[in-house]
Amino acid sequence: MKRFNRLLAIALTFLLTSCGIFNNYHADKKYVPAPLRGTPEQILAKKGFVVSYNDDTRLPNWVYWHLTSDHIGGKDTRTGISYHEDGKVAKPRATLADYRRSGFSRGHMCPAADCKWNRAALKESFALTNICPQTEKCNSGVWNSIETQCREWALEYGDLYIVCGPIYEGVPETIGNNRVAVPTGFFKVVACLNGKKKGIAFVCDNADRNQTLKNCVVSIEDVERITGMEFFPSLNAKDRRTVKERGNIKDW
């Protein structure tokens, strides 16, 4: 089944590329996750990242981007940029009103700080298709720590391939008139494919409590089991084992 998914992912990437859906995305497309099965999915290619959007949850299934050392420390600023609805997806969709007085913050999947290298990329990072409801402690705490750590690794190793998204346990609660789903947790998978290949992943709770980065470390295979997704499907068998089977922060 996984071999079929890998072949399907490669074929789909070729098809989407040939029909122009990835034209807006600036970077390497071959490491996008495998197509989802039994889950609504609309692919949105932004300047700095790619979104798999779910019109049932009004949230991304996953967000993928290629973070390079050149992107770190971009000079663009948020001045004049606000959170906004994404007109590329059909209504009903997440709106600013859905988050207002909900008790949840608007948590970036692809961080704004990873997109400061380009004005269009930075603006698109504030589209609500790149946002999930997060508790304030998750958003400003462990999630922020993971984002910062990834930027430090990108500087050290040159570049990283990253995918993140929401996790649900059971039927999720919702916020707002558009019934935006509230995740119970979040995942982030990270692959370094430069030189000595390696991978690591994180799973954190969307909870109003303190969490530490080190306590959230898992393997990419663990996240695949939790989410049913397949990450970096175009890697060969040897590299898949190297990148996915081990999750140890000491390797980094």
Query: d(Cα 91, Cα 97) in Å, to the nearest integer?
Result: 14
Q: Is 101 exposed, middle or buried (0-12, 13-18, 19+ CB in 10 A)?
A: exposed
Query: d(Cα 48, Cα 120) in Å, to the nearest integer?
Result: 8
Please say if the pLDDT value at position 87 is more than 70: yes
Name 171's Cβ contacts closer than 8 Å, sequence gap at least 6. none
Arithmetic mean of pLDDT, 74-82: 93
Q: What pLDDT does 17 receive?
A: 46
- Per the prediction, the chain carries an average pLDDT of 92
Query: d(Cα 192, Cα 157) in Å, to the nearest integer?
Result: 7
189-238 pLDDT, tens digit per residue, is 999 999 999 999 999 999 999 999 999 999 999 999 999 999 999 999 99
71 labelled catalytic: no
Distances from the Cα of 84 to the Cαs of 41, 80, 90, 123, 198, in angstroms?
A: 21, 12, 14, 9, 36
Confidence at 29, pLDDT banded by 50, 70, 90: confident
145-180 pLDDT, tens digit per residue, is 999 999 999 999 999 999 999 999 999 999 999 999
Arithmetic mean of pLDDT, 30-39: 95
Q: What pLDDT does 1 receive?
A: 52
Please say if the pLDDT value at position 51 is more than 80: yes
Query: d(Cα 122, Cα 111) in Å, to the nearest integer?
Result: 9
127-137 pLDDT, tens digit per residue, is 999 999 999 99
Confidence at 73, pLDDT banded by 50, 70, 90: confident
Chain centroid to CA 113: how far?
14
Between 198 and 4, where is the model more confident?
198
Which residue type, as a one-letter code, is found at position 130? N
Helix (H, G, I), strand (E, B) or coil at 85: coil
Arithmetic mean of pLDDT, 86-98: 98
Q: What pLDDT does 123 receive?
A: 98
Pick the CATH number of 2-251 from 3.30.499.10, 3.30.70.2190, 3.40.50.720, 3.40.570.10: 3.40.570.10
Backbone angles phi, psi at 84, to 5 degrees: -155, 155
Q: What pLDDT does 28 receive?
A: 66
Q: Where are the domains of the chain?
A: 2-251
